[in-house]
Amino acid sequence: MAPTVEGGDAALLPEFPRGPLDTYRARASFSWKELALFTEGEDMLRFKKTIFSALENDPLFARSPGAHLSLEKYRELNFLRCKRIFEYDFLSAGDVFESPLRVSALIQCLGMYDWSLAAKYLLHTLIFGSAVFSSGSERHFTYIQKIFSMEIFGCFALTELSHGSNTKAIRTTAHYSPATEEFIIHSPDFEAAKFWVGNMGKTATHAVVFAQLHVPGGQCHGLHPFIIQIRDPKTLLPMPGVMVGDIGRKLGQNGLDNGFAVFHKVRVPRQSLLNRMGDVTPEGTYVSPFKDARQRFGASLGSLSWGRVTIMGMAVANLKLAVSIAVRFSATRRQFGPTEDEEIPVLEYQTQQWRLLPYLAAAYVLDHVSKSLFLDLVELQRGLAAGDRSARQAELGREIHALASAGKALASWTAQQGIQECREACGGHGYLAINRLGVLRDDNDPNCTYEGDNNVLLQQTSNYLLGLRACRVQDGACFRSPLKSVDFLDSYPGILDQRFEVSSVADCLDSAVALAAYKWLVCYLLRETHEKFNQEKRSGSDDFEARNNCQVFHGRPLALAFMELTVLQRFHEHVHRPCVPPSLRAVLGRLSALYALWSLNCHVGLLYRGGYFSGEQAGRVLESAILTLCSQLKDDAVALVDVIAPPDFVLDSPIGRADGELYKNLWGAVLQDSKVLERASWWPEFSVNKPVIGSLKSKL
């Protein structure tokens, strides 16, 4: 049973220890506790505190200064910790749909502690579990209880050694044999080995394996998922015909065992096919509720949307950690000043504000959007589970696919760039491993790659938009989507006639200004990408070559601008709701405006080229507004960080602790490292064994 947290608001949101950060906390224009309650809600705050408290009070999760574990020991410890999470029972199988945001919260809480632990738990429960639930039928639901009791341990096996993004070219095969009512799972050669599969290296007993489904007569019905046992749960030895192993050390997240598997004519029962999207009768006839193979293929990969939306939240969590460390450091680190006798916090410098505060705003904005998109995905999965085959359900799936693809790219890149900026903003101290910024950078890095390379995913989004435009031209259809992300395109011609007419910085401090600019930018890039594609076609290119030649300066910025607009639109609407407390409206509005203008500033060249901006004043107003918002948010920065930072035990960064005792904490952490004061074990190499100068010089 999960532990509980008792007490009132004081216990839920205790005061921070007195110290050097008090000055900034006293300057804040809002109550950090009020913002925390508004942003998360009391129930979610209690849920997170329960998790954090359990980790901090359990010796299994104790931080060990100076401990450098071997790969084998780290993975053993990570597995033991994952098992302990199940013992705490923070999350039940029913919570996935009944309290979906708790799923996301648990993953982020575990990740803030250690992403190897979060990834291991996530891949087993959410990715593997949701694949079984959403792609399987009642005959597979017995696995769900086994997943949450850890009777089995799962992984999601799509990627192969020679194929990742091009999922349609996956080469693992599943040939059906009517005589035995079995599928024969086979890897034709080593290049078809399942590869990079998290949990597969050492611990997974079962895998959702994607393979090309063949029926008697030779017809292939494309990629389908199968649930296959790859190890014996009692011994963890491979099943007959399965060669399974570990791919070795990675750049980060080494507590997670990524592995490979090769199948040699492995026979599995017909019922192993996860058959919600398509099935095979005992006689070998293929049947599917989807008439269109492309629609079926998209639905069968629905689990990838779970992964991509979850990665958005993971990236945001990393950004929160990095910004929390860097802002607290900047508020206490004093360098230079107006006189030789007075040093001021580096947060007072405009450059430091410009480097950090947009990423603080991004953490708030992207956090809200990742949660809202997660709830949209839950709605989609509920429809699939209920057998909804309506046109709206299909369109919702396409829209979420487009948003999840670009959202994952935007969030992971923003976090990666933000963590690096935070590392540099903390100077040399940021480069010390004990301050965690390097680990965050390495652990966030794969978010840019797995579940789809970011640049490839952006093509999914631009293709979605180009497809909508084609339907408009051919059928005269309106631009409409279930989540309303494309509805503004119905005013496409009129939007393109608009121009930037803001002449003062004061008028630019509302995110509505950037919203209007973004709508124009998306319409402009959609037109330009469409025209570029047609130009390529007229020049003799086929569809493949034409699309390939449209990506770098057309499709890619189109997808990013569309996602940035969607993110901004959702957060703008969120902070302008009537339920927002009056005391929070100003700071939330500034966060919204800063993120909007800072993001828009990356597209200034396009805004000028397309004619939305003209003259020097437009660019100057935009830049001045960004700096003005940074200045306005500077005194709120520490309180904003206090809302999103986890407890010190979880943050695990001496320079980012809540008491602000920067040098005391850092000095203490350095002295706690093992053997820090000991003489080097190889000291005789210096003191005794002196080099004979020139002894190895060539005599020729």
List the binding residues.
159, 198
The DSSP code for 236 is: -
- C-alpha 206/C-alpha 454 separation (Å) is 28
Nearest alpha carbon to residue 489 among 511, 448, 457, 518: 518
Q: What are the helix and strand counts (H, E) for the chain?
A: 27, 11
Structure tokens, 253? 């997240």
451 is catalytic: yes
- C-alpha 209/C-alpha 518 separation (Å) is 41
Kind and range of the H or E run holding 495: helix 492-496
- The 10 Å Cβ neighbour count of residue 189 is 10
- C-alpha 358/C-alpha 319 separation (Å) is 11
Helix (H, G, I), strand (E, B) or coil at 687: helix
345 HSE (CA, 13 A, CB side): 21
- C-alpha 66/C-alpha 77 separation (Å) is 16
Determine contact, residues 479/561, Cβ cutoff 8 Å.
Answer: no
Determine contact, residues 258/201, Cβ cutoff 8 Å.
Answer: yes
Structure tokens, 515? 């919203």
Catalytic residue (choose from 40, 182, 399, 451): 451
- C-alpha 303/C-alpha 130 separation (Å) is 7
Contacts of 280 (CB under 8 A, 6+ apart): 176, 213, 215, 270, 273, 286, 287
What is the secondary structure of 603-643 as a DSSP string?
Answer: GHHHHHHTTSS-HHHHHHHHHHHHHHHHHHHHTTHHHHHHH
Structure tokens, 42? 């009391």
Determine contact, residues 633/360, Cβ cutoff 8 Å.
Answer: yes
Q: How distant, in Å, are the alpha carbons of 170, 293, 410, 451 from that of 165?
A: 10, 19, 18, 8
> To 10 degrees, the CA torsion angle through 113, 119, 120, 122?
110
Per the annotation, where are the binding residues for FAD?
159, 198
Which residues carry out catalysis? 451
